[in-house]
Amino acid sequence: MQRITKTVEVDLGDRSYPIHIGAGLLDDPELYTRHICGRQVLVVSNEVVAPLYLERVTTALSGFQCEAVVLPDGEKFKTLEVWQGVFDALLRHRFSRQCTIVALGGGVVGDMAGFAAASYQRGINFIQVPTTLLAQVDSSVGGKTGVNHPLGKNMIGAFHQPLCVIADTETLNTLDDRQLSAGVAEVIKYGLINDPEFFAWLEDNISLLLARDPEALAFAIERSCIDKANVVAADELEVGQRALLNLGHTFGHAIETGMGYGEWLHGEAVAAGICMAARFSVVQGWMNSKDERRIIDLVDRSQLPTKPPGALQAEKIMELMAVDKKVLDGRLRLVLLQGIGKSVVTDRFDLGQLRNTLNSY
């Protein structure tokens, strides 16, 4: 892969941080050392990513007391019990409050390691080294960390921003096609929320992206990070417009929880959720069906599902959607679309119409 390095800044005052995007960044000791204050570093990874990249990262960190903890792989292990293992490692190695956690992996590792950093001795530093497309464009940026509960996705967690994000695009070469497509779902999301030009670019370049063309990948990751960084800078703690980043997620989380964590990939559930939000927006008379067609076409061309799983009944989806962080005073809120690049968070819809829309699948 040719070397393309870009840096996007997440502007949060004295907690601002850079997202470094490029090929071969994983090995660069300077990218780590300029951010780490103490001498102790714990790399948190998982059993799939560690054999691929852990040694390169620990070598880059050889100037520190560097230890590692390797978690089991998969969404079904994003639990409080597995999370506990990170503290066992921190305490076993007598790590102090000056230590730093490095999260090496996809969104599951990043969310769990970040939540451990938010909690250990009431908060320590951490660095995100995302290795999936989904993590490079979304989960490593913005400071949302946490674990799942059997009754609801990401229901336990904290906001805790990293010191920096090191997104090595070369790591995407070992990702399988299904996981790459899952990441594209979150990329499409940014175009729909407020970046219609990016959506149009994706329509023209989706084949290049799926073929892992280095320039197309670097552009899509940078643009996604810019879009996300802008929203996070304006509303870090999601009191307002940050909720727009959850387009497709209320439907998607219901699919993930309903099917059993890990059955549908997060990005696949979000893709179907985006199409469901588009369908309901048309039913509400807020968006025209030509825009809905463009959305479904792009999702389909990205090798992603455009409908919820047949095994999940409408009533079950309704029940699961009621356990969502956007529910306010008992009222469900959804991110809906007024067009491509025009999204709103709203509770102004009829639940009966929502049920009918779900039943129509």
Instruction: State yes or no: is 20 an active-site residue.
Output: no
From candidates 73, 75, 111, 138, binder to ligand GLY by CB under 6 A: 138
Site for ligand GLY in 243-302 (CB under 6 A): 245-246
Residue 226 contacts residue 136 (beta carbons within 8 Å): no
Distance CA 194, CA 341 (A): 4
The tokens describing 273, both together, are 């959720």
Q: What is the CA radius of gyration of the chain?
A: 20
Q: Is 160 among the catalytic positions?
A: no
Interacting residue with ligand GLY among 102, 134, 144, 198 (CB under 6 A): 144
Is 246 part of the annotated catalytic residue set? yes
Question: What does the DSSP assignment read for 19-50?
Answer: EEEETTGGG-HHHHHTT--SSEEEEEEETTHI
Residue 34 beta carbon to ligand GLY: minimum distance, rounded to whole angstroms: 25
Of the candidate residues 78, 223, 242, 279, the single one contacting ligand GLY (CB under 6 A): 242
Nearer to ligand GLY, 31 or 243 (CB): 243
Q: Mark whether 242 is an active-site residue.
A: yes
Q: Which does 242 bind (CB under 5 to 8 A by kind): ligand GLY, ligand NAD, none?
A: ligand GLY
Which residues here bind ligand NAD, judged by CB under 6 A? 46, 48-49, 52, 73-75, 78, 105-109, 111, 131-132, 134-135, 138-139, 142, 144, 154, 171, 174-175, 179, 182, 266-267
As a 3-state breakdown, the chain gives helix, strand, coil percent values, each rounded to 5, of 50, 20, 30
DSSP 331: B
Give the Cα separation of 136 and 127 in Å (integer).
13
CA distance linking residue 148 with residue 125, whole number of Å? 22
Among 22, 106, 114, 142, binds ligand GLY (CB under 6 A): 142
* Residue 174 CB, nearest approach to ligand NAD (Å): 4
Active site residues: 122, 144, 186, 228, 238, 242, 246, 249, 253, 266
